[in-house]
Amino acid sequence: MTLQLDLYWSFRSPYSYFVTKRALSLARDYDVAVALRVVHPAAIRNPAYFRAMNPLSRPYFMRDCLRVAEYLGLPFRRPVPDPIIQNMETLEIAPEQPLMLRLSRLGIAAVEAGRGMAFADEVSRLLWEGRTDNWHESDHLAQAAQRAGLDLVRLDAAILAEPERHEQILADNDAALRAAGHWGVPTFVLSGEPF
Residue-wise pLDDT tens digits, 147-161: 999 999 999 999 999
pLDDT bucket at 90, cuts 50 / 70 / 90? confident
Q: Per-residue DSSP letters for 79-135?
A: -BS-SS-B-TTT-PBPS--HHHHHHHHHHHHHHHTT-HHHHHHHHHHHHHSSS-BST
Supply the range of the domain harboring residue 92. 3-194
pLDDT at site 17: 98
Question: pTM here?
Answer: 0.95
Structural domains in the chain (count): 1
CB-based contact 43:49 (threshold 8 Å) = yes
Judge whether residue 47 has pLDDT over 90: no
pLDDT bucket at 107, cuts 50 / 70 / 90? very high
pLDDT bucket at 5, cuts 50 / 70 / 90? very high
Q: What is the CATH number of the domain that holds 65?
A: 3.40.30.10
Judge whether residue 53 has pLDDT over 90: no
